[in-house]
């Protein structure tokens, strides 16, 4: 007989059945929900003085969840956005339990009634063209590692791919010859929710990738680390941070910017927008589901705002003439 009162079996079903088989969430989303519960369970066990494998569903009270959220913010010093992300996972768990166990409907309602905390929108960080050029020039292309680093940075800028998306690219995903019916190379990118999009590649990007994958099988990853193993998203983060640190020594404008692979994604979108690419094309380029997400780039780009302001700038008129000084008018009147 299935136990519907113990927390552990519900967590297992939620993570393995619901997230994977029913919702088919992206792997990173699954990890995020798992990490939330991995933080919550020991917290509840300590608060209730109960071994974690004996925790009951009703031990997850609304008050304890609120205490857990305060712990996230105050003790772990996480941002409000992270606190809300953890709460979203708990809302999903409560909904999952409530839909399958009517006796826990009241409990599920109490958990789901805990509100998200309002937080300000984090400003989007992007690089100006000169800063991006300096970052691309940072790797030493006389070495194999430098050539690989340059290829990764160029690929991120060309495609606007997320770090995890770039790490998952295989040789079979590349079309480095001309795509049939077109004059460019392209890459197939698998984004969030396993949604696939195709992105054109610059000739320089295609040339560097072609040299990078020479002799590899179709199933091999494109980007490898120094040990010949597939690079991870954390490896790509470390690569970007390493070269940004190097560039900062001679480009002070980067000192105040916290740059990550996602900043390069923002840079791609901003530069496309400045080049006159319409916002819907940029949405498809980045793999956004909603155009609302893409619209943030129109909000943050000061250069485009300044150009728009110049178009409607008020031109100050010169001093107006007194009517007595208007000889044309006086001559007209005397001629009547």
Residue 194 in tokens: 């396993």
State the total domains in the chain. Answer: 2
- Is residue 167 domain-resident? yes
- Is residue 328 domain-resident? no
* 79-124 confidence digits (pLDDT tens): 999 999 999 999 999 999 999 999 999 999 999 999 999 887 677 7
Q: What is the mean pLDDT of residues 250-267?
A: 91
Instruction: Please check whether residues 260 and 301 belong to one and the same domain.
Output: yes
Instruction: Please check whether residues 142 and 56 belong to one and the same domain.
Output: no
Instruction: Please check whether residues 282 and 173 belong to one and the same domain.
Output: yes
- Is residue 21 domain-resident? yes
Q: How far apart are CA 230 and CA 224, in angstroms?
A: 4
pTM (2 d.p.):
0.70
Instruction: Please check whether residues 140 and 216 belong to one and the same domain.
Output: yes
Is 283 one of the annotated active-site residues of the chain?
no
- Is residue 331 domain-resident? no
- Is residue 119 domain-resident? no
Classified as helix, coil or strand, 336 is coil
* CATH of residue 81: 1.10.150
Residue 322 in tokens: 């007194």
Supply the range of the domain harboring residue 298.
129-309
Is 288 one of the annotated active-site residues of the chain?
yes
Instruction: Please check whether residues 108 and 134 belong to one and the same domain.
Output: no
Q: Spell out the residues 6+ positions from residue 174 whose beta carbon is closer than 8 angstroms to its own.
A: 185, 187, 188, 209, 213, 222
Tell me the pLDDT band of 321, cut-offs 50, 70 and 90.
low
Q: Which of 13, 147, 197, 262 is catalytic?
A: 262
pLDDT at 124: 78
* CATH of residue 267: 1.10.443.10
Check whether 1 has a pLDDT greater than 50: no
Q: What is the DSSP string of 27-78?
A: HHHHHHHHHHHHHHHHHHHHHHT--GGG-BGGGS-HHHHHHHHHIIIIIS--
Q: Among 83-92, 186-195, 223-232, which stretch is predicted with the lowest mean pLDDT?
A: 186-195
- Is residue 159 domain-resident? yes
Instruction: Please check whether residues 174 and 248 belong to one and the same domain.
Output: yes
Is 265 one of the annotated active-site residues of the chain?
yes
Q: Which of 162, 190, 266, 283 is catalytic?
A: 162
Check whether 258 has a pLDDT greater than 70: yes
Instruction: Please check whether residues 91 and 142 belong to one and the same domain.
Output: no
Is 126 one of the annotated active-site residues of the chain?
no
Q: Among 69-73, 123-127, 230-234, 321-325, which stretch is predicted with the lowest mean pLDDT?
A: 321-325
Q: What is the mean pLDDT of residues 261-270?
A: 92
Residue 159 CA: distances (Å) to CA of 29, 166, 174: 22, 9, 12
Is 198 one of the annotated active-site residues of the chain?
no
Last residue of a domain, one of 64, 84, 112: 112
- Is residue 155 domain-resident? yes
Last residue of a domain, one of 77, 112, 147: 112
Check whether 312 has a pLDDT greater than 70: no
Q: Tell me what the pLDDT averaged over the chain comes to.
A: 86
Instruction: Please check whether residues 38 and 159 belong to one and the same domain.
Output: no
List the one residue out of 43, 38, 1, 23 whose CA is nearest residue 95: 23
Q: Which of 192, 197, 237, 257 is catalytic?
A: 192
Instruction: Please check whether residues 107 and 134 belong to one and the same domain.
Output: no
Q: Which of 265, 266, 271, 283 is catalytic?
A: 265
Instruction: Please check whether residues 235 and 271 belong to one and the same domain.
Output: yes
CA 41-87-77 angle, to 5 degrees, is 80
Instruction: Please check whether residues 97 and 30 belong to one and the same domain.
Output: yes
Q: Spell out the residues 6+ positions from residue 6 whose beta carbon is closer than 8 angstroms to its own.
A: 54, 55, 56, 57
- Is residue 329 domain-resident? no
Instruction: Please check whether residues 262 and 199 belong to one and the same domain.
Output: yes
């Amino acid at each position: 007989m299935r136990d519907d009162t113990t927390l552990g079996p519900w967590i297992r079903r939620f993570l393995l059945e619901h997230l994977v088989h029913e919702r088919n969430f992206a792997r990173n989303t699954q990890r995020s929900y798992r990490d939330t519960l991995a933080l919550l369970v020991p917290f509840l066990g300590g608060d209730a003085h109960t071994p974690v494998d004996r925790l009951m569903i009703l031990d997850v009270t609304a008050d304890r969840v609120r205490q857990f959220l305060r712990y996230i913010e105050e003790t772990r010093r996480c941002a409000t956005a992270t606190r809300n992300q953890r709460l979203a996972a708990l809302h999903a768990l409560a909904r999952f339990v409530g839909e399958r166990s009517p006796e826990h409907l009241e409990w599920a309602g109490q958990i789901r009634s805990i509100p998200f905390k309002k937080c300000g929108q984090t400003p989007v960080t992007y690089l100006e063209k000169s800063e991006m050029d300096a970052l691309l020039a940072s790797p030493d292309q006389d070495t194999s590692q430098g050539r690989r680093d340059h290829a990764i940075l160029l690929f991120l800028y060309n495609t606007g791919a997320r770090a995890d998306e770039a790490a998952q690219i295989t040789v079979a995903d590349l079309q480095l010859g001309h795509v049939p019916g077109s004059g460019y190379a392209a890459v197939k990118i698998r984004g969030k929710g396993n949604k696939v999009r195709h992105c054109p590649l610059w000739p320089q990007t295609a040339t560097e990738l072609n040299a990078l994958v020479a002799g590899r099988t179709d199933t091999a990853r494109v980007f490898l680390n120094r040990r010949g193993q597939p690079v991870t998203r954390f490896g790509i983060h470390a690569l970007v941070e390493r070269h940004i640190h190097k560039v900062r020594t001679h480009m002070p404008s980067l000192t105040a910017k916290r740059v990550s692979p996602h900043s390069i994604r923002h840079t791609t979108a901003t530069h496309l927008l400045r080049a006159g690419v319409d916002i819907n094309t940029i949405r498809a380029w980045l793999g956004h589901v909603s155009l609302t997400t893409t619209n943030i780039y129109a909000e943050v780009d000061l250069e485009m705002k300044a150009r728009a302001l110049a178009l409607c700038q008020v031109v100050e008129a010169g001093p107006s003439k007194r009517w007595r000084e208007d000889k044309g008018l006086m001559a007209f009147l005397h001629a009547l």
